[in-house]
């Protein structure tokens, strides 16, 4: 198992390119099931989540290959197995997004119920409600979802909202299934995340008829079949936001390339509010920390609100603010595993229900800490960059799920991170 040893404090400066969005790649790889031939995606980051999803598609009968330059191909000519095995699904809950396309293409899908994870319970009731609305018979058996539609799916007006607002992968599943349903489907309270926009655009290049893309109301005219296509993946806004916080927390200056500021308006708003400079450039931006940040209130919401996937990273930054901040987590109320670990680094954080009171401190102190999930581990790395001393982050495999070779990209900017196997 790998650990990171992180020397701090450092000040980052230089230029970094943002990779393709992991959370766009995964549903778009699933969409390739609908193409019935060889589709390709680029740029695809070299991440363990992508490798796991590739294995899952190969288990279904697809042929998956990737070139060194980040192009990934999925040939779904043959689908001779409609079962998403527990062994794979339990390691990555995003596997659930094969359910919709498999059901639409094969009339049957059997996918293991995804487990919970460190950020809290991860129900899929809205996914199943939407697919039932399209006419699927769904039963749960021995921990597996068995979905059947032997006579195909039929379009319907569907409400996909839940107690926490829209669902990203729930929208992806129902959207992909609706592309081959008979007649028209409308999805009310659809997710508006840029990754869903990317998916919908890719489906349209495959011959789907989707309108309202980017809005909470999607309209889909079912078609008989889709064809393979080539997909352009959007930049990873969460990775970009993580680098923005890295510049701010180290009071450095970073130039981000291949980054869409229009996907990060809520984050840029909060950064500017706390005194961080954000200057747009032709294909990205320059971020400059100007000394200790001011406190702020941050509430996570569905897009275009502040993304829950940047909550932990922002908490590490506000832990060093000159005053008290309040962070409210409205998407995953239990997504606070990083609080105890940051407090081990002398942060002063107090959980109050779905909120955390962040009392700014003058400095963080290095300590051995434990990564618990992808974004919490990113927050601990950022804290280690600013903390005095050598921070050890354990269970680095969490961060490798969503950030490609993060230490090899931060060290040229001034970080001092070594990866050790223990
Ligand atoms: C996606 O997960 C992302 N994962 C998550 O990123 C991200 O945190 C999340 O969206 C929210 O933006 C991928 O895209 C692979 P949801 P998803 O369904 O789709 C509740 C990362 O770090 N809900 O939008 O699983 C749910 O419990 C990961 O890259 C139901 O109640 O999230 C949550 O409270 C972590 N019933 C809220 O909705 C359902 O059927 C939003 O979840 C589905 C969801």
Nearest by Cα to 280 from 316, 255, 303, 299: 255
Q: What is the reported pLDDT for 115?
A: 66
Q: Where are the alpha helices (DSSP H) in 12-136?
A: 22-31, 48-60, 86-89, 99-106, 125-133
Contact 178, 205 (CB under 8 A): no
CA of 153 to the centre of ligand 1 (A): 25
Residues in the chain, overall count = 422
Instruction: Name the one residue in this structure whose structure tokens are 């409400």.
Output: 159
Contact 334, 323 (CB under 8 A): no
* Lookup: tokens for 72: 């990934």
For the CA of 375, the nearest atom of ligand 1 = 22
What domains does the chain contain, in order, with CATH numbers?
Answer: 2-19+235-421 (3.65.10.10), 22-232 (3.65.10.10)
Query: Is residue 285 annotated as a catalytic residue, yes or no?
Result: no
Pocket of ligand 1 (CB under 6 A): 23, 26, 94, 122-127, 162, 164, 167-170, 308-309, 331-332, 374-375, 402
Specify the pTM: 0.97
* Lookup: tokens for 286: 């320059």
Beta bridge partners, 53, equal none
Query: Which residues 6+ apart lie within 8 Å of 105 measured at CB?
Result: 33, 34, 36, 76, 79, 180
Query: Which residues 6+ apart lie within 8 Å of 269 measured at CB?
Result: none
Q: What whole-number distance in Å separates Cα of residue 378 and Cα of residue 307?
A: 15
Greatest pairwise CA separation for the chain in angstroms: 64
Q: What whole-number distance in Å separates Cα of residue 373 and Cα of residue 395?
A: 9
C-alpha torsion angle, residues 20, 26, 32, 33 (rounded to 10): 170
Q: What is the reported pLDDT for 91?
A: 85
Catalytic residue among 117, 192, 202, 259: 117
Pairing of strands 108-112, 137-141: unpaired
Contact 306, 92 (CB under 8 A): no
Contact 313, 375 (CB under 8 A): yes
Other beta carbons less than 10 A from residue 78's beta carbon: 11
Digitized pLDDT (tens) for each residue of the chain, 422 residues in all: 899 999 999 999 999 999 999 999 999 999 999 999 999 999 999 999 999 999 999 999 999 999 988 899 999 999 999 999 999 888 888 999 999 999 999 999 999 998 667 788 889 999 999 999 999 999 999 999 999 999 999 999 999 999 999 999 999 999 999 999 999 999 999 999 999 999 999 999 999 999 999 999 999 999 999 999 999 999 999 999 999 999 999 999 999 999 999 999 999 999 999 999 999 999 999 999 988 999 999 999 999 999 999 999 999 999 999 999 999 999 999 999 999 999 999 999 999 988 999 999 999 999 999 999 999 999 999 999 999 999 999 999 999 999 999 999 999 999 999 999 98
CA of 333 to the centre of ligand 1 (A): 12
Query: Which residues 6+ apart lie within 8 Å of 163 measured at CB?
Result: none
Q: What whole-number distance in Å separates Cα of residue 18 and Cα of residue 238?
A: 10
């Amino acid at each position: 198992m790998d650990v990171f040893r992180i020397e701090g404090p450092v000040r980052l400066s230089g230029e970094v390119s943002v990779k393709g969005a992991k959370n766009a790649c995964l549903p778009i790889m699933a969409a390739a099931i609908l193409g019935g031939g060889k589709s390709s995606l680029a740029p695809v980051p070299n991440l363990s989540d992508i490798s796991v999803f590739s294995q899952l598609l190969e288990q279904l009968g697809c042929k998956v290959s990737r070139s060194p330059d980040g192009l990934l191909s999925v040939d779904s000519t043959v689908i001779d197995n409609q079962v998403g095995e527990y062994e794979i699904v339990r390691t990555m809950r995003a596997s659930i997004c094969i359910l919709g396309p498999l059901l639409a293409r094969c009339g049957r899908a059997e996918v293991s119920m995804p487990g919970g994870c460190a950020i809290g319970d991860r129900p899929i009731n809205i996914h199943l409600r939407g697919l039932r609305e399209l006419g699927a018979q769904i039963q749960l058996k021995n921990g597996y979802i068995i979905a059947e539609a032997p006579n195909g799916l039929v379009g319907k007006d569907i409400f996909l909202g839940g107690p926490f607002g829209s669902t990203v992968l729930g929208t992806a599943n129902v959207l992909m299934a609706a592309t081959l349903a008979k007649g028209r489907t409308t999805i009310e309270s659809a997710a508006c995340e840029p990754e869903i926009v990317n998916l919908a655009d890719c489906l349209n290049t495959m011959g789907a008829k989707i309108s309202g893309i980017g809005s909470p109301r999607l309209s889909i005219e079912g078609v008989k079949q889709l064809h393979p296509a080539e997909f352009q993946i959007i930049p990873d806004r969460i990775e970009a936001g993580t680098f923005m916080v890295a510049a701010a927390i180290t009071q450095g200056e970073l130039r981000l390339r291949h980054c869409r500021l229009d996907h990060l308006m809520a984050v840029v708003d909060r950064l500017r509010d706390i005194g961080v400079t954000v200057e747009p450039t032709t294909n990205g931006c320059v971020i400059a920390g100007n000394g200790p940040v001011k406190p702020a209130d941050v509430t996570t919401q569905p897009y275009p609100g502040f993304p829950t996937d940047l909550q932990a990273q922002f908490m590490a930054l506000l832990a060093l603010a000159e005053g008290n901040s309040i962070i409210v987590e409205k998407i995953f109320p239990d997504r606070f595993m990083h609080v105890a670990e940051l407090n081990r680094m002398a942060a002063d954080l107090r959980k109050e229900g779905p909120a955390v009171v962040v009392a700014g401190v003058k400095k963080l102190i290095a300590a051995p800490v434990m990564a618990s999930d992808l974004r919490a581990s990113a927050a601990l790395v950022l804290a280690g960059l600013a903390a005095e001393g050598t921070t050890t982050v354990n269970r680095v495999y969490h961060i490798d799920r969503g950030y490609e070779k993060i230490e090899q990209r931060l060290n040229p900017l001034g970080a001092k991170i070594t990866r050790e196997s223990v």
